[in-house]
Amino acid sequence: MAKNSVMFMDAGRRNLIGGGRILFADTALHPDWLQPQSKPWCDQLAAQTGKYEYPWNYVVEGDAAEAIFTEALSGIVRGKTLDVGCGHGAYTNRWADRVDEAVGYDMTEGFIATANRNRKPNVRFVQGRTHQGLPFADQEFDMAYTKKGPTSWYPEAQRILKPGADVLSLHPGDNPDADHHLARYFPGLFAPAPQGTPIKDLIRERLAGSGLLVTEFRELRETGYLPTPEDVAVLKCFGQSEAVTRTFRERYMEEVTKQFDRYRTELGIPVTSVYYLIHAKAAKAAQAASPGEASG
């Protein structure tokens, strides 16, 4: 066994019990661990599957945030549309028969390769990083959206959108219910939610400097269930290497199962997630941006 893997397991032994509760080592101690959503992590996931697609089971109680977003988007998608953070392009293709042209933009070469293999005739895909700006012409798009994608493109949004164009966004949010948070069920394995609203604050800051006119900033709460301990393991190891996954399963599945059984309901363990649904418009020439006016 590799020296660093032993270190990972030793950390787990040292942190196994604390305050009368099972704890887990920081999985980031494993030498092959990659920070989720980072560029290396996305590249690795693309090499593994070619897709950004959740492989675990998850049962939503009531309306899913993504379904609410999709319903709202269906009423405004039109013309030439930009999908920011398109992943492997399946969601972009969904709107092909509703628009003149759909353009998907993503930073991960492997996802774009998958998207190009499956694209519809009026859909195209572009690789790039929003932090470096958007490689599109001024006033090129009639609307743009991002589904759980980046916020770093907002400073460029006003430039690439036609006056009055719609922007619709769905972003993971702050402070889910502490009673239904994975950090409560598996302390040390999942990080607790940060105090305050750092995600909302960052989004508002970027919107404030974008020139967009925010008409809606709504918080959506979604309760879902992970049906089995296996789903917890798949979620935690999503996008990680085989070595990380193997070490995790060897070291922690027994404890994960015990904790799961402690908190499980008929449907599994409940998890509350918060999302921000944002609707904005590109300002017209005579308008001044005032993103702080919207409620939420």
Q: What CATH number has the domain bearing residue 90?
A: 3.40.50.150
pLDDT of residue 294: 54
pLDDT of residue 290: 46
What does 182-213 look like in DSSP terms, one character per residue? HHHHSBTTBPPPPSS-HHHHHHHHHHHTT-EE
- By C-alpha distance, which of 109, 131, 295, 129 is closest to 219? 295
At 4, which amino acid appears? N
pLDDT of residue 287: 58
- Cβ atoms of 269 and 226 closer than 8 Å: yes
pLDDT of residue 192: 86
Q: Return the structure tokens found at 48.
A: 């593994």
| Residues spanned by the domain of 108 | 3-293
Round to whole Å and give the CA distance between 125 and 106: 8
Q: How many domains does the chain have?
A: 1
pTM (predicted TM-score):
0.88
Spell out the per-residue pLDDT of the chain, length 296, in tens.
Answer: 343 443 343 344 334 433 445 457 677 789 999 999 999 999 999 999 999 999 999 999 999 999 999 999 999 999 999 999 999 999 999 999 999 999 999 999 999 999 999 999 999 999 999 989 999 999 999 999 999 999 999 999 999 999 999 999 999 999 767 778 899 999 989 988 888 999 999 999 999 999 999 999 999 999 999 999 999 999 999 999 999 999 999 999 999 999 999 999 999 999 999 999 999 999 986 554 444 445 45
Q: What is the dihedral sign for C-alpha 123, 73, 200, 175? A: negative
